[in-house]
Amino acid sequence: MLRALIVKEWLVSLLELRFLVCAGLCIVLGVISVFVLRADLSSRRAEFTHNQSEYLDQAREYGSYRQLQRQGMRVDRPPQSFQVLFYGVEKTLDRTAVVTDGFLPGFAGDLNTNPAVMLFPVADMLFIVAVVLSLLAFFISYDTVAGERETGTLKLLLSFPVPRDLVILAKWIGGYLSLALPFVVALLVGALLISSASDIPFTATDWQAFVMAAVVSLLLLAVMFSIGLLVSVRARSSSTAILTLLSLWVLLALVVPNVGPYLAEVVAPIPDVGQVEREIGLRTQQISDQYRTDWSSMRRRMRGLSRQERSELFRQFREQRAKLQVEVNEATSRVIRDFEIQLRRQTDIARQLTRVSPVASYVYASTDMGATGVRHEERLINSLRTYQRQFVQYVGEQAGEGSGFGGGGDEEYDIDTLPNFSYSAEGLGERFESRMVDTLLLLLFAVAFFMAAFVSFLRADVT
């Protein structure tokens, strides 16, 4: 009997015009999204490769290690393969960083990018599922029970010896399958487009993350459909149900995910980057003044010294300079560490506040599984700071070994051994473990809302 009821509910959904519109919209949006983002990612990969050699050529033209230290080394944000599906936090103009011996390294704006793209959301798979499909789930489920109650077909159905629990279970399964079917088709077509692109190498880990993200997406659809079914059971009319669901969609998909971070800024404010850099400057000013005093004293002492005595003096000064550099690094690290603790606390508060929305939990889970989320950004910035320490150490060693203490050219200026910036994403196990809470929350939401609809239907008045 359950199978017959499921088939009946599924066929009813498939034959409705709204299903055809929703299915067509889902598939078309999914295919266009992957197709456009695939071309964008391919272009960004080519640009990234070209810029790496161009930035190295620019560094060679500086002519001295001191000039390199002042001008810095430019580094591009490495494109991630999963951006073909989930653009994540990289929907910004921040693609290039300048690594020097001072200030916090960060990604500055790319002036070659059209700023108009910032005015509109990226139509990636994340947007399609979290915004479009969540709304379509409500459109499909709003009259599942309320509509049949109005027409009297529900009362007629229950006049037969059909258990209520089977009826509501069949409505959920049949309706959910009609919602999930076009999404699965869109995913399969998207996977075909990705696999056919030779310039976007999806690794085995990427494909595993693809499957995990698909499962999480289906969980969100289950949550939203269960909410729609619950409202349909509780509402006395389909018009009341659709208005209630539209209000809930605005709250869950738009208000909560966007308001949460602003509330976190009020609850746990953090200093801006400029203030942090000023604090670093104040803490290191005394150390820098001592460095300049020692340098002036050494230059006065060099007059009248023999070559051997000068070499010994240079050696002592290099040791002292290395000690001062360690003190500068420690002072800088303390300020950065305090800032990162405050930032992490604010981020955690924002997550906790927004997790009341299943859409927010879905965004956190899917982007981090695809290495395009907040954890990816934190890991990228940490890698950038690690590279800054390598860069400073390299330039200091090379400048100390050579004779170029001024701003002029170095006869032995050679940066072929300059360290390259490297970044590696987290392993799949670490990604899944970090987002286990959000995945379990989605599962809990789906079960809780379905059970609420189930119990409500068992006690509902069908007249």
- pLDDT tens per residue across span 13-58: 888 888 888 888 888 988 888 888 888 888 888 888 888 889 888 8
Q: In the prediction, which pLDDT does 357 show? A: 93
Residue 339 has pLDDT above 90, yes or no: no
Q: In the prediction, which pLDDT does 217 show? A: 95
pLDDT tens for residues 343-376? 888 888 988 999 999 999 999 999 888 888 888 8
Q: In the prediction, which pLDDT does 121 show? A: 62
Model pTM score: 0.82
Residues with Cβ < 8 Å from 87, sequence gap 6 or more? 37, 122, 124, 126, 372
pLDDT tens for residues 202-230? 888 889 999 999 999 999 999 999 999 99
3-state secondary structure of 404: coil
Q: Over the Cα atoms of the chain, what is R_g?
A: 30
Residue 295 has pLDDT above 70, yes or no: no
3-state secondary structure of 452: helix
Q: Which of 386, 389, 373, 374 is nearest to 422 (CA)?
A: 386
Q: In the prediction, which pLDDT does 406 show? A: 43
pLDDT tens for residues 413-447? 788 888 888 888 888 888 888 889 999 999 999 99
Quote the CA–CA distance of 218 and 176 in Å, as a whole number.
Answer: 9
DSSP 133: I
**Phi, psi at residue 136, to the nearest 5°?**
-65, -35
pLDDT tens for residues 132-179? 899 999 999 998 888 888 888 888 888 888 888 899 999 999 999 999
Q: Do 168 and 453 touch, CB atoms closer than 8 A?
A: yes
DSSP 418: P
Residue 318 has pLDDT above 60, yes or no: yes
Q: Which of 423, 438, 424 is nearest to 366 (CA)?
A: 438
Q: Do 383 and 420 touch, CB atoms closer than 8 A?
A: no
Q: Do 320 and 294 touch, CB atoms closer than 8 A?
A: yes
**Beta strand ranges found along 100-189 (DSSP E):** 107-109
How buried is residue 259: exposed, middle or buried, by Cβ count under 10 Å (0-12/13-18/19+)? middle
Q: In the prediction, which pLDDT does 215 show? A: 94
Residue 61 has pLDDT above 80, yes or no: yes
Q: In the prediction, which pLDDT does 119 show? A: 44
Q: In the prediction, which pLDDT does 433 show? A: 84
3-state secondary structure of 97: strand
Q: In the prediction, which pLDDT does 344 show? A: 84
